Amino acid sequence: NAGVTQTPKFQVLKTGQSMTLQCAQDMNHNSMYWYRQDPGMGLRLIYYSASEGTTDKGEVPNGYNVSRLNKREFSLRLESAAPSQTSVYFCASSSRDRGRPDTQYFGPGTRLTVL
């Protein structure tokens, strides 16, 4: 199993450009998440999808949109990139089985720079 995969690994954008970050998991997990991590800081939740067909805002959703394409894939879109969105973006997934603790497993990250 590859686990959680993310593309691209690196991206440089100009202010105002748009792009979509892709995430896929092969663990048959129900829930998927997008986080951002700024230098020297912990992870902040942008959006999450508890199950296929649902999405909800996290702590820092402004400037982002998401799509849960199917059970495997969860994409994050920046419609008009801003320098404040320069960060490392991590996708995660978890099984969210009823009655079981919910461990999230992370992808390798996308390093995004907005000039």
Partner 1 sequence: GESVGLHLPTLSVQEGDNSIINCAYSNSASDYFIWYKQESGKGPQFIIDIRSNMDKRQGQRVTVLLNKTVKHLSLQIAATQPGDSAVYFCAENIGDSSYKLIFGSGTRLLVRP
CA distance 2 to 45: 23
Q: Is 63 in the site for partner 1 (CB under 8 A)?
A: no
The first and second tokens of residue 59, run together, are: 């702590």
Torsion sign across C-alpha atoms 43, 57, 74, 67: negative
Q: Is 53 in the site for partner 1 (CB under 8 A)?
A: no
Q: Is 42 in the site for partner 1 (CB under 8 A)?
A: yes
Q: Is 71 in the site for partner 1 (CB under 8 A)?
A: no
Q: Is 69 in the site for partner 1 (CB under 8 A)?
A: no
* Among positions 2, 14, 40, 99, the unique one binding partner 1 when judged by CB under 8 A: 40
Start-to-end C-alpha separation, the chain: 36
Torsion sign across C-alpha atoms 57, 61, 62, 66: negative
Q: Is 61 in the site for partner 1 (CB under 8 A)?
A: no
Give min distance, CB of 7 to partner 1, in A: 14
CA distance 33 to 12: 22
Interacting residues toward partner 1 by CB under 8 A: 4, 31, 33, 38-45, 48, 50, 56, 58, 90, 94, 96, 101-109
